[in-house]
Amino acid sequence: MDLTIKQYADYCEAEVLALYESVGWTNYTRDPAMLRRAYAGSLAVMSAYDGERLIGLVRAAGDGASVLLVQDLLVRPERQRQGVGTALMRALLARCGAVYQIFLMTDDTPEHDAFYRSLGFTRAEELGVCTFTKTA
């Protein structure tokens, strides 16, 4: 594997949609214009390439000082559990780690719990706080 982690600077809709499709995130693929706007408004986007092929992305929103929301972390299914997600998150944290609060929301599974704990994250309820969400 020829893994390269770098800032995702030039949005290529075809490769981004193919990546989201590969993990079944159809809420994004059904509305490419929304996804394009989301990327344009992102604070940071890091990418993982195997040669010329996009195999993963992590996207974050926030103000760059007090709050960062890790919005999307996705890795092609055939490349999961090979360190790609960890490398992407470490690159994002290296770039934005001085932010006071870093949040993310994910599926409540043992695998996700172990993964994010390995990167230094703590479940909100363990800090004596709760989270709220509102979706359209």
Helix axes 110-118, 84-96, angle to 10 degrees: 50
- 1 — pLDDT class (breaks 50, 70, 90): low
| pLDDT digit string, tens, across residues 16-75 | 999 999 999 998 999 999 999 999 999 999 999 999 999 999 999 999 999 999 999 999
In a domain, 18, yes or no: yes
In a domain, 44, yes or no: yes
| pLDDT digit string, tens, across residues 89-113 | 999 999 987 899 999 999 999 999 9
Domain range for 38: 3-127
In a domain, 95, yes or no: yes
CA nearest 57: which of 115, 97, 4? Answer: 4
In a domain, 83, yes or no: yes
In a domain, 135, yes or no: no
CATH at residue 30: 3.40.630.30
Confidence at residue 136, expressed as pLDDT on a 0 to 100 scale: 76
Confidence at residue 91, expressed as pLDDT on a 0 to 100 scale: 97
In a domain, 134, yes or no: no
Instruction: Give the global pTM.
Output: 0.92
Looking at every residue in the chain, the average pLDDT score rounds to 94
**Count of structural domains, the chain:** 1
